[in-house]
Structure 1
Amino acid sequence: MRAIQFTEYGPPGVVHVAEVEAPHAGPSEIRIAVRASGVSPGEMYIRSGTLRDVVPTTFPYRTGFDAAGVVDEVGGGVTGVGIGDEVFGMTTMAARGANADYAVLAAWAPKPAAWSWEEAGGAAGSVETSTRVLDRLAVGAGHTVLVQGAAGGVGTIAVQLAVARGATVIGTASEHNHDFLRSLGAEPTTYGTGLVERVRALAPAGVDAVFDCAGGALPDLIAIAGDPARVVTIADFTAAAHGVHMSHGAPADETGAAVGAPADPLASHGLAIAVTLAGEGRLRVPVAAAFPLAEAAAAHELSESRHARGRIVLVS
């Protein structure tokens, strides 16, 4: 089968299609014929070599954590899903390999009828990450939440899930994305100099929690929240130095040393919540662009630009 991988550190051009042996579903797993899969922003740091001193990497490195497709193999002990079912879900963090013709999923849910394959292929990772962080921050009804980097792949989902919990959401993004954020239920503002004052004007009673999806602004985010314990980042590797928790779900031997924190438990229960919200028309998955597998390098280039609105996906 075809799979996306890289065999050396470097720019997006090192990413390529390789012919590899197809995986098979083990106990408590399923295999899908992939229709679409997400491009993981975190893998940009690994591919570029930015984390080479703290994240051990074994080559070839196969990419992709989330995918959607049709079940074609069911492992031992699996119930409630059968061959031919349409699902979306995630691989294990250690196995990866979702950017391929076939992928083994360790967590999954039925593909919502309202979602295209591209939307479903880019959903699971953002849903799990957003649910994990919102759970840690205990976001609920009546709270005010700031999502830093709200127009990106995770940010767009975090906004909608927080709104669904009954929270008031302020989201930062470039001005050309402000109407888009309003359509998701957030009050938009720009990032950068003056952020603290802008957020205080929008939330004079204060902000209960900050979800940082962008990185690079932790001192301001702490000032907005009033306490580093009320800030969680998924993008800033300086978090520990600021007393902020960096949430990740990667194996400890891969990422723990880099961020100074062990992995958080994966919030796989968020997938079922997403199915319900999608069925109610309350959760959509903005897709910035879809590329064929053969153009995976172009997908990585777009992701690295950090100008994509929503998820970037590969289609099989």
Structure 2
Amino acid sequence: MNQPRARAVRFDRYGGTDVLYVADVPVPSPSAGEVLVEVRAAGINPGEAAIRSGAMHERFPATFPSGQGSDLAGVVTALGAGVGDFAIGDEVLGYSWQRSSHATHVSVPATQLIRKPPRLSWPVAGSLYIVGCTAHAAVHAVDPEKGDTVAVSAAAGGVGTVVIQLLAVRDVRVLGIASPANGSWLAAHGVTPVNYGEGLGERLTAAAPDGIDAFIDLFGPQYVELAAGLGIPPDHIETIAAFQKGSELGARTRGSRDASNREVLTEMAGLVADGTIEIPIAATYPLDRVADAFGRLEQRHTRGKIVLLP
């Protein structure tokens, strides 16, 4: 009997988007406690690009051939032994920690899935995990109070668009660091836009003459250094992108894994489903165009999420 086949993104060496390809592979068989999901949507993320390029080798080394992808949403097609909280045909969203969601089928522990709220589109559901849980962790890391002023770098990116909206829920004033092209979108979401580039420190000080209470960095070490230079206490600086610099300065470095549980995922899905938070979808691509999808992501000017539709 022929074994059912799936298709999955692979790379055999570190490099640019040209090392990505789609392989014909066996459909995974769910082990005990796992669920097989036919993937309808899977978000892509900067961290995946960093792993593929080798930039994260010391922290997150790849073994070849490597798959990729964490975010996923789809339909349950098979259950492993002992799974009682899902049924075949259920629509779910969640995550894989095996770098495997950029595929037509993926087997993941049932504990890493929740039911997809009907109001969520497939692209939004399939890109919720990383941005939702990372944003949740980042905001809780600095834990701002009502009336505080918080600066956010890369405020219009995938995680940034969620962070600024979570801060708005707390009635926090947000200074959103982004390109001029994103100013209108940020302002429409209650954010004070601040253009990045030379003179940023002076623009931030002018926008918040009474001081900045916290800084959430979603881009890189230059912003952690900037935050420290502005006199923000280390325990009120959070970075998801500059772990070494954050550690050197005593900043917080919380990320998606610090909030990777059903409770947080359910909370974030609920906020999106009821319209409190919007997850902008910048573009969708078929699986065969995964290299094009990452090429666009790596330009670093995308507002919201790019999603693969296997």
Say whether the fold is shared (TM-score over 0.5).
Answer: yes
Larger CA deviation: 238-247 vs 183-192: 238-247
Partner of 2:3: none
Deviation string for 1:54-80 (max 9, x for gaps)? 543210110100011112223445444
Q: Whose Rg is larger?
A: 2
Q: Return the letter of the residue paired with 1:97.
A: S
CA drift at 1:162:
1.9
**Which whole-Å CA distance do the structure 2 matches of 1:64 and 1:56 have between them?**
14
Corresponding residue SS for 1:296: helix
The answer to whether structure 1 residue 146 and structure 2 residue 161 are counterparts is no
Identity %: 37
**Which whole-Å CA distance do the structure 2 matches of 1:156 and 1:86 have between them?**
25
CA contact (8 A) 1:199 1:224 kept: no
Corresponding residue SS for 1:7: coil
Partner of 2:50: 45
Partner of 2:191: 186
Which of 8, 14, 27 pairs up with 1:9?
A: 14
The answer to whether structure 1 residue 236 and structure 2 residue 239 are counterparts is no
TM-score normalised according to structure 1 size: 0.87
Mapping of residues 18-57 of structure 1, within 5 Å = 18-53=23-58, 55-57=60-62
Give the unaligned 5+ runs of structure 2.
Answer: 1-5
The answer to whether structure 1 residue 297 and structure 2 residue 303 are counterparts is no
**Which whole-Å CA distance do the structure 1 matches of 2:79 and 2:209 have between them?**
53
CA drift at 1:27:
4.2
The answer to whether structure 1 residue 220 and structure 2 residue 226 are counterparts is yes
Query: Aligned pairs, how many?
Result: 301
The answer to whether structure 1 residue 279 and structure 2 residue 273 are counterparts is yes
Which of 175, 187, 200 pairs up with 1:170?
A: 175
CA contact (8 A) 1:149 1:155 kept: yes
**Which whole-Å CA distance do the structure 2 matches of 1:81 and 1:225 have between them?**
50
**Which whole-Å CA distance do the structure 2 matches of 1:287 and 1:277 have between them?**
16
The answer to whether structure 1 residue 99 and structure 2 residue 106 are counterparts is no
Larger CA deviation: 160-169 vs 303-312: 160-169
Partner of 1:309: 303
CA contact (8 A) 1:68 1:89 kept: yes
CA drift at 1:294:
0.3
TM-score normalised according to structure 2 size: 0.89
Q: Return the letter of the residue paired with 2:62.
A: T
CA drift at 1:267:
5.2
Distance 1:32 1:224, change over 3 A: farther
**Which whole-Å CA distance do the structure 1 matches of 2:271 and 2:231 have between them?**
28
